[in-house]
A and B are shown apart, each in its own frame.
Chain A
């Protein structure tokens, strides 16, 4: 028996389509506008089509030192990604057993996620200022600052990415069958071998998902960086600085370049996840199909 779709399906399908258009429409508009002709302005209609503004960005004649900010953000993003993956997988494994500080860690992660970013950012900046003052007072009068991209900046980003990593690990292990790992141990695997050869391959697609969150959230992070990054700026901070002064399409060009990196990373990650899932489906499932 085949039932037709109810009328509510079509109403909601249109609603959903409108939501997707609302999500993507404006973004697509600025990607298009960043290819304005040299005489083009901030709005439609397009005044010719060129790569003038994007080229200008890379020549470094534009408003910000794009190259340096780009490298800083990329470096920070990659480090945040690696640290997020390693710490989340490790902590996720710990949560499979009961341990004492379990609920403290859990609530710290949730609080870190929902306490307004500006407060975390201010707190980190105060912490580092006080550390600086202590160093100046007791050890070295000429000490400049301990704040920086890879100290306070890295910490600030991790307070944002780690909760996502941990929650993804929870989602993974909610559906994970521990019997497979126990079987590996029965066959004589050490805990590390069981993790390396049984658990990790199974959870790998989701672990790549954690990496995706780690990089993209850091690459675009703004609120927590704002007070805690030190003297230098990341790319999103430069971009935000431009919003108040800009009069020509440079800003769109910069936006397009930043997004291009995001989309490349998203595509790479999703592609890898897809391939891994395919391989698992093809290779990993002859068990239970009977003796050959």
Chain B
């Protein structure tokens, strides 16, 4: 990838003069916009058929009626009323859906803070302390490879470490720090957060690293020359310039955790309720309109979070 750029840089100087005349001489039967459609059309069709239309169906079906075993295509708010059942009657106590969303937001916040901290410093190390391009490539690759392997395997990998007889517990018991194995290590909120951080810090590292390598190193030198301490440089130069990466990484992590039901299911021992998990439960009960209603609610909340965050930065400009 780098080499191709080098080739181009070396090869291009002699080619500049002819560049402008190419278009004039060229005779094509297909108009450029038609070619663009041919090129981009297939991908657009896939998104249309398997993403945009399905989203429309989610919204439509959320207003349908249902009984024990099938969809009834007639307008009904039942999907929503079932979902918000008790939300007014039980006041001031919180209804199930509100509790579930609070729990999901809490998990989200914890995972966001931790992945941001880890992701920022990992990216910082790669961008500013690793000088050689080869090492930078190698170490980035080292961080990327787990992303190409199975998430479920990376979850169950914690079982032999955190279980009642797992490495951590047996180590702690042997060292005399505790008498009985800790029960909260596995199938708990702790293990859910741990697994989410383990799986998704990658989504924070990549965009932050991307922003950081684009920072002009002379700006940092200038800050030092002007007498800034390392901390001042970090807060006043590096963090503001890395902000687009931080925001993009945060959007990834937050949307993943908001909709997650697999990690929360497997690592929570299927006992922890979460926004994504409600949808799965409703689908398993064949209550599709209720599932769709929950999906719409989740979509709205996710959308609000993204809108808030993208106020801070123009995503399209950064990619």
Give residues in A with beta carbon < 8 Å to B. 5, 8-9, 12-13, 15-16, 19-20, 22-27, 29-30, 33, 41-44, 86-88, 90-91, 93-95, 97, 99-106, 108-112, 114-120, 122-127, 129-130, 133, 152, 155-156, 158-159, 162, 166-167, 170, 172, 175-177, 179-180, 182-183, 185-186, 191, 202-203, 205-206, 212-213, 216-217, 219-220, 222-223, 226-227, 236, 239-240, 243-244, 251-252, 255, 258-259, 262-263, 265-266, 270, 273, 277, 280-281, 284-285, 287-289
Instruction: From known contacts A87-B43, A180-B8, A180-B11, infer whether A212 and B161 are also in contact, taking CB-CB under 8 Å.
Output: no
- Contact call B156/A243, Cβ cutoff below 8 A: yes
- Contact call A119/B148, Cβ cutoff below 8 A: no
Give residues in B with beta carbon < 8 Å to A. 1-16, 18-19, 21-22, 25-26, 28, 32-33, 35-40, 42-44, 46-58, 61, 71, 118, 121-122, 124-126, 129, 139, 141-143, 145-146, 148-161, 163, 165-167, 170, 198, 201, 230, 251-252, 255-256, 258-262, 266, 270, 276, 279-280, 283, 288, 291-292, 295, 298-299, 302, 306, 315-316, 319
Residue of B at shortest CB range from A227? B283
Could you list 9 A-B pairs, sorted by A, with CB under 8 Å?
A: A26-B154, A86-B42, A87-B43, A118-B280, A118-B295, A120-B54, A122-B54, A122-B283, A220-B149
Contacts of B11 in A (CB 8 A): 180, 284-285, 287-288
- Contact call B160/A124, Cβ cutoff below 8 A: no
Q: How far is the CB of A27 from chain B (nearest CB, A)?
A: 5
- Contact call A240/B44, Cβ cutoff below 8 A: no
Interface of B is mostly: helix
Q: A97-B36, A236-B152 are in contact. List 5 more A-B contacts (CB 8 A).
A: A20-B143, A33-B160, A115-B259, A255-B153, A281-B7
- Contact call B49/A119, Cβ cutoff below 8 A: no
Q: Select A101's contact among B40, B46, B61, B146, beta carbons within 8 Å.
A: B40
- Contact call B149/A288, Cβ cutoff below 8 A: no
- Contact call B291/A122, Cβ cutoff below 8 A: yes
- Contact call A23/B143, Cβ cutoff below 8 A: yes
Q: Select B156's contact among A30, A41, A124, A265, beta carbons within 8 Å.
A: A30
- Contact call A123/B157, Cβ cutoff below 8 A: no
Q: How far is the CB of B85 from chain A (nearest CB, A)?
A: 20
- Contact call B15/A179, Cβ cutoff below 8 A: yes
Residue of A at shortest CB range from B34? A99
Residue of A at shortest CB range from B279? A118
Contacts of B37 in A (CB 8 A): 94, 99, 101
Q: Select A240's contact among B33, B46, B54, B262, beta carbons within 8 Å.
A: B262
Residue of B at shortest CB range from A243? B266
- Contact call A255/B156, Cβ cutoff below 8 A: yes
Contacts of A265 in B (CB 8 A): 148
Contacts of A23 in B (CB 8 A): 143, 146, 198
Instruction: Please indicate which of the listed interface residues A44, A111, A123 has the most CB atoms of chain B within 10 Å of its own CB.
Output: A123
